[in-house]
Structure 1
Amino acid sequence: MIALALALAIIVLHGTLLYRGVSLPVFTAVTGGLLAAGYFAGLYGTLGAGIAAALFLPPALLFNLVPLRRTVVSRPLYKVFRSVLPEMNRTEREALEAGDVWWEGEMFRGRPDWSKLLEFPYTTLTDEEQAFLDGPTHELCAMIDDWEVHFERKDLPPEVWQFIRDNGFFAMLIPKSHGGLGFSAYGQSCVVAKIATRSLTAAVTVMVPNSLGPGELLVHYGTKAQQQKWLPGLAAGHEIPCFALTGPEAGSDATAMPDTGVVETRVVDGEEVVGIRLNFSKRYITLAPVATLMGLAFKLQDPDGLLGDPDKTDYGISCALIPTDTDGIEIGRRHYPGAAFMNGPIKGTDVFVPVDVIIGGPEQAGNGWRMLVECLSAGRGISLPALSTATGKGMYGITSAYSKIRRQFGVAIGKFEGIQEPLGRIGGYAYSMEACRNLTASAVDHCAPSIVTAMMKYHMTEMMRTVITDAMDIHSGKTIIMGPRNYLAAAYQALPVAITVEGANIMTRNLMVFGQGAIRCHPYVFAEMEAARHADPKAGLRDFDKLLFGHIGYSVNRGVRALVLGLTNGRLAKAPVDGETAGYYRQLERYSASLAFASDVAMGVLGGSLKLRERTSARLGDMLSHLYMASATLRYVHEHGESEADMAHVRWVMAHHLAELDKALYEVIRNFPVKAVRPILKLTTMPRGRQFDGPSDADNAAVCDVMLDSATDSELNQRLQYDLYIGGADNGPTGHMLRTLEKLQEIEADYEPFLKAVKTGRVRGEDVSAQLTDAVNQGLISQAAADGIREYDALRYEAILTDDFSQDYVREPLAHPRDEPGPGEARIRAVS
């Protein structure tokens, strides 16, 4: 019994040491001390001590005496590692090195330091940014008739184009020193979000030059001369920029572009000029049909060494800035994507430009891929999350309002459980997107988080896809009929644009998130790869030995932590806060440890072939993404307080993310390519099986109750609507819908008894007016209440109507004025 108790004590002690991640010398010393203590305590004799020493000392010496370990263990492994390590070309290295590792690194490594999240400062709008949001941005939204833009003109009106140019909407990221607005990433996000709730066409027109465009490239990489020449014109709107990257032969794989630039000399105006002969064909280029200044990505070659290095002919991807009226450039006809924003092909045949058009000058030749990756990653963290969140929050408000106003079978449709399922999902997703947008845009203001922005691009646009589809289902017939009253169809039609641009979602999920994240976020892998490629093998071996055994200790620690936290359902993890959210922090730490261990197993077992195992990579990336999104939600509620309205949403969001984490980990294990590894992964990371099923019906109903029952001026609603364009009741269908909801809230106390009286037959009448007169005559409601209900009913009826047009207008909208409503809309209405 004593021996058994001692054995259990030793196991617990060693497990504690491994769980805490003590160093190898400490672990060795504690083990040796226990063996010595057992001998001196008389638990075993000389023979036992000799056997223990024979088992303990050789590995202890081998792994703790660094010169011996390096010679016997690390050297052979180093040779093998160097021989099997795949070549990394320049573009792959630049993609890996681009941007910064931020909070996602903490979530990947299995022991998040929560203080880094909770103490991270949100960016807030400056007075100038707030004034721009309330002033020019609101004015721009009020100028736009999106039906006119989307259907009649298929373009923004000239006065809207001019307003955008005159007010610096193309220059939000350009510093004030060059005439721009110099806004923060968060400020840009809020402006794009507000415009998106009025017109997707206008939002895309504004956001693209502030994402990947000549302005941003010039700010970060341009020479002083280039900045002085072009930035003032871009800031003032005299120049309209586009960036030509994607072509017919190269979409997501931009490195495969066939577009070329060859350095050569030509005589121009009697002088010999060193320049570049360009041949390119690009498509899907936003603003190309109206652009005056083009950023161009191409592969640069210098066969004659004219750039100064006779041994270098292939420079790789480079970026140049070229006026679109340059000889040989042909702007093609328009593409027509799901929205009416300007987009089209652009082609160049034997275009000759001086070498100083290279962004950053000839010294930056060949550095275009790094420029693109870094700028694109920042854009992914601002524009598309802003667009997605604006859609989510817009659908949150308008769909909940419609669900309360629209009645079927005498009941508001929001009370039906079938409606509440998608309505609650809209609420949960909108809350999660707002939390993610706030954290991610703030991060872009402090660093360049490339992995986070890839995650956000994929998941935010996918959540937007779900939100729009759910909203369409709830609105049913109202949003399948095109017209000015339809505030959903344009977003639904344009949805594939967001899914496809700035890295197609399939590629982003399957290749980018984990493919880049695993190497950048891991504390050892990239450094080990660098050590293996070291030009000095001795120095490389020295670094590799230290990294290798640090890596082994890291893997063992994360495996033990995953097992212990899995067995205890996260109870041993430390939470940085008290209260209801504390348990969520513990669960995230548990899954963080599981991700760290599963990632190490996947990389160790599959090696370089992991990049070809896209489903495994995608699922591990999903885990990292949901860890980030869940932690963003906790940061958001920590910032704003745990009100009951907030907590209803937090419970839904956390249940969703924890279930997605559970599912992704389960699928990694169930489908792991090497079957023999599956039991190890399961025992270590899911010892109690799957734990989470997603939001319950009660969670969903709680979110719907907040959405349907809270006042339009509640603190949560105000927080979700601060950067949305609502408009007035006479200035668009969304404004009218919310005005109708406000009126309903005013008369609701009298309206429900009135409806009940009509349904039971106590109140009679052929239409609403007659029914209200009868109710007043019976003393059931006052005359003032009847007047309020009559006003509301007129608003309600208008809110649920759809549009109809003459056939001439539909055929040629610009040739025929928009019609007045048809006679079918004036029919007698009676409450039934």
Structure 2
Amino acid sequence: MNTSPVHPFDLVAVDGLLSDEEREIQRTVRALGERELRPHIAQWFQEGIPARELARLLGGIGVLGMHLDGYGCAGTNAVSYGLACLELEAVDSGLRSLVSVQGSLAMYAIRQYGSEEHKQEWLPGMAAGEKIGCFGLTEPDAGSDPGAMRTRAKRDGSDWVLSGTKMWITNGSVADVAVVWARTDDGVRGFVVPTDTPGFSAPEIKQKLSLCASVTSELVLEDVRLPADAMLPKARGLSGPLGCLNEARFGIVFGALGAARDCLETALSYVADRTVFGRSLASYQLTQQKLTDMALELDKGMLLALRLGRLKDEGRITPEQVSVGKLNNVREAIEIARQCRTLLGANGITLEYPVLRHANNLESVLTYEGTSEVHSLVIGKALTGEAAFR
């Protein structure tokens, strides 16, 4: 006997775990994605993304820095921010990356560690999408080990002079402001760098096979001279940039599930319509086994994300818990995307369907904001008390 299919999230009644406000925010972002973003995403993946136009669009609905308070930010809870990330990444990881870097890296760094003048100057425009920010931490030879950074900031009278190179910087070529981390005689410090400062350049990285609907750049700092007050006064050492990374990783915990959900929804629709040997592909046991396994991992990932979101809203989340969420949910999301591709057969490799685009994007998500290996070691240290990083 045939019955009406249910959505994967209905298997564990996820919707009942959300407040009315959280559901409304999720519906608003999903509606925007379906109306304004999804119709164009395949073209943007091939030809590049109109980042400034999109920043203004996303700022208009309040998702840029939405989890921050004041200065034009919406001040929502962490779960609402996570759900917004989920809906954006259901369209494309590049869109969520734009929002993550803007809100959880650049804006968070200024809000958390900046002076009142920094906040007043930059945050309202960034929240509205009128100004775009980027975050300069990763270097060509210092990815997973930010303590090995070579970018230097030296005093010259009352000024700072920055020299060095940053790599794989989302939003870099379109940014109005860069939060740059550099070595000083007083340890690692952060600097607010207007991108029109002489000596600053941000050549875009081309010929990517992943996150193609996202601006990725190199930052080159050639004796960039900044006033003394360009330094973030409340960040000292690596705890500053690592605190920002934890904010961004939290968004990924939810965001990766959006890509996985979109793949699974696509596969469910496809197998229902596809006829093989005179029957729908959905009616075969092997197909249903794949769908079941994927739905279980998607639901478990969602329950984990919501638990971490509640902990964050209570002020009790730890970096190790964020690592658990990032490691599990991205790892399972990329497996779901790959498995969905097999159900679509040859159709799965085209941009007519989103699954291989999501899989390609998730290859980057698996690596950035901490590789799977690094998050495994963070969790391993928590379990054993032994640091195995070196």
1:427 matched residue in structure 2: 295
Shift of 1:195: 1.8
Shift of 1:186: 0.8
Amino acid at match of 1:246: T
2:9 matched residue in structure 1: none
Task: Find the aligned partners of 1:293 and 1:157 in 2 and give their Cα distance.
Answer: 14
Amino acid at match of 1:216: Y
- 1:567-602 Cα offsets, whole Å, 9 max, x none, are xxxxxxxxxxxxxxxxxxxxxxxxxxxxxxxx4xxx
Structure with greater helix percent: 1
Q: What is the aligned counterpart of 1:338 among 203, 210, 213?
A: 210
- 1:661-705 Cα offsets, whole Å, 9 max, x none, are xxxxxxxxxxxxxxxxxxxxxxxxxxxxxxxxxxxxxxxxxxxxx
Q: 1:123 to 1:258 in 2, by over 3 A?
A: farther
1:284 matched residue in structure 2: 168
What secondary structure does 2:226 align onto? strand
Shift of 1:249: 1.3
Amino acid at match of 2:45: H
Task: Find the aligned partners of 1:158 and 1:323 in 2 and give their Cα distance.
Answer: 16
Amino acid at match of 1:278: L
2:339 matched residue in structure 1: 470
1:181 matched residue in structure 2: 74
2:363 matched residue in structure 1: 496
Task: Find the aligned partners of 2:68 and 2:209 in 1 and give their Cα distance.
Answer: 28
2:184 matched residue in structure 1: 300
2:103 matched residue in structure 1: 210
Unaligned runs of 5+ in 2: 1-15
- 1:352-406 Cα offsets, whole Å, 9 max, x none, are 11221111x2xx46x141122222223212x211222112323333322322322
Task: Find the aligned partners of 1:397 and 1:165 in 2 and give their Cα distance.
Answer: 28
Shift of 1:330: 1.1
2:150 matched residue in structure 1: 258
Task: Find the aligned partners of 2:311 and 2:368 in 1 and give their Cα distance.
Answer: 22
Q: What is the aligned counterpart of 1:408 among 266, 276, 279?
A: 276
Structure with greater strand percent: 2
Q: What is the aligned counterpart of 2:120 among 200, 208, 228?
A: 228
- 1:525-544 Cα offsets, whole Å, 9 max, x none, are xxxxxxxxxxxxxxxxxxxx
1:611 to 2:388 alignment: yes
Is the Cα contact below 8 Å between 2:108 and 2:244 reproduced in 1? Answer: yes
Task: Find the aligned partners of 1:380 and 1:200 in 2 and give their Cα distance.
Answer: 13
Q: 1:140 to 1:426 in 2, by over 3 A?
A: closer
Is the Cα contact below 8 Å between 2:29 and 2:88 reproduced in 1? Answer: no
Shift of 1:491: 0.6
In the superposition, the TM-score normalised over structure 2's length comes to: 0.88
Q: What is the aligned counterpart of 2:220 among 343, 347, 353?
A: 347
1:317 matched residue in structure 2: 188
Amino acid at match of 1:343: T
2:197 matched residue in structure 1: 326
Q: What is the aligned counterpart of 1:164 among 49, 54, 58?
A: 58
Is the Cα contact below 8 Å between 2:25 and 2:80 reproduced in 1? Answer: no
What secondary structure does 1:209 align onto? helix
Q: What is the aligned counterpart of 1:417 among 285, 310, 315?
A: 285
What percentage of aligned pairs have identical amino acids?
18
Q: What is the aligned counterpart of 1:441 among 309, 317, 322?
A: 309
What secondary structure does 1:294 align onto? strand
1:545 matched residue in structure 2: none
1:146 matched residue in structure 2: 41
User: Where do residues 693-704 of structure 1 align in structure 2 (5 Å cutoff)?
Assistant: none
User: Where do residues 806-825 of structure 1 align in structure 2 (5 Å cutoff)?
Assistant: none
User: Where do residues 364-403 of structure 1 align in structure 2 (5 Å cutoff)?
Assistant: 364=234, 367-381=236-250, 383-403=251-271
Task: Find the aligned partners of 1:326 and 1:455 in 2 and give their Cα distance.
Answer: 39
Is the Cα contact below 8 Å between 1:149 and 1:157 reproduced in 2? Answer: no
Task: Find the aligned partners of 1:410 and 1:433 in 2 and give their Cα distance.
Answer: 35
1:726 matched residue in structure 2: none
1:505 matched residue in structure 2: 372
Amino acid at match of 1:498: V
Q: What is the aligned counterpart of 1:240 among 123, 132, 137?
A: 132
Task: Find the aligned partners of 1:160 and 1:333 in 2 and give their Cα distance.
Answer: 18
1:116 matched residue in structure 2: none
Is the Cα contact below 8 Å between 2:170 and 2:214 reproduced in 1? Answer: yes
1:459 matched residue in structure 2: 328
Task: Find the aligned partners of 2:243 and 2:363 in 1 and give their Cα distance.
Answer: 24
What secondary structure does 1:334 align onto? coil
What secondary structure does 2:103 align onto? coil
In the superposition, the TM-score normalised over structure 1's length comes to: 0.42
Shift of 1:444: 1.6
Amino acid at match of 1:150: F
Is the Cα contact below 8 Å between 2:62 and 2:127 reproduced in 1? Answer: yes
Is the Cα contact below 8 Å between 1:392 and 1:433 reproduced in 2? Answer: no
Is the Cα contact below 8 Å between 2:266 and 2:353 reproduced in 1? Answer: no
Task: Find the aligned partners of 2:345 and 2:367 in 1 and give their Cα distance.
Answer: 26
- 1:475-496 Cα offsets, whole Å, 9 max, x none, are 112212x23x212121122121
What secondary structure does 2:140 align onto? coil
Task: Find the aligned partners of 2:87 and 2:347 in 1 and give their Cα distance.
Answer: 24
- Counting matched residue pairs gives 370
- More relative contact order in 1 or in 2 (CA 8 Å, sep 6+)? 2
Amino acid at match of 1:261: A
Shift of 1:228: 2.0
What secondary structure does 1:277 align onto? strand
Is the Cα contact below 8 Å between 1:143 and 1:160 reproduced in 2? Answer: no
Shift of 1:257: 0.4
Amino acid at match of 1:253: D
Task: Find the aligned partners of 2:320 and 2:151 in 1 and give their Cα distance.
Answer: 28
2:3 matched residue in structure 1: none
Q: 1:170 to 1:337 in 2, by over 3 A?
A: farther
Task: Find the aligned partners of 2:215 and 2:247 in 1 and give their Cα distance.
Answer: 23
Task: Find the aligned partners of 1:239 and 1:428 in 2 and give their Cα distance.
Answer: 41
Task: Find the aligned partners of 2:363 and 2:354 in 1 and give their Cα distance.
Answer: 17
Is the Cα contact below 8 Å between 2:181 and 2:190 reproduced in 1? Answer: yes
Q: What root-mean-square deviation, in Å, do the aligned CA atoms of Structure 1 and Structure 2 show? A: 2.3
Task: Find the aligned partners of 1:162 and 1:380 in 2 and give their Cα distance.
Answer: 24
Amino acid at match of 2:125: G
Is the Cα contact below 8 Å between 1:395 and 1:426 reproduced in 2? Answer: no
Q: 1:289 to 1:256 in 2, by over 3 A?
A: same
What secondary structure does 2:248 align onto? helix
Task: Find the aligned partners of 1:290 and 1:157 in 2 and give their Cα distance.
Answer: 7
User: Where do residues 614-633 of structure 1 align in structure 2 (5 Å cutoff)?
Assistant: none
User: Where do residues 518-537 of structure 1 align in structure 2 (5 Å cutoff)?
Assistant: 518=383
Q: 1:186 to 1:472 in 2, by over 3 A?
A: same
What secondary structure does 2:222 align onto? strand
Task: Find the aligned partners of 1:206 and 1:257 in 2 and give their Cα distance.
Answer: 25
- 1:594-643 Cα offsets, whole Å, 9 max, x none, are xxxxx4xxx6xxxx6x627x9xxxxxxxxxxxxxxxxxxxxxxxxxxxxx
Is the Cα contact below 8 Å between 2:33 and 2:87 reproduced in 1? Answer: no
Amino acid at match of 2:62: G
What secondary structure does 1:348 align onto? strand
2:380 matched residue in structure 1: 514
Is the Cα contact below 8 Å between 1:140 and 1:160 reproduced in 2? Answer: no
What secondary structure does 2:388 align onto? helix
Task: Find the aligned partners of 2:266 and 2:312 in 1 and give their Cα distance.
Answer: 30
Shift of 1:470: 0.9
Amino acid at match of 1:491: H
Q: 1:199 to 1:378 in 2, by over 3 A?
A: closer
What secondary structure does 2:179 align onto? strand
Amino acid at match of 2:131: E
Task: Find the aligned partners of 1:283 and 1:230 in 2 and give their Cα distance.
Answer: 23
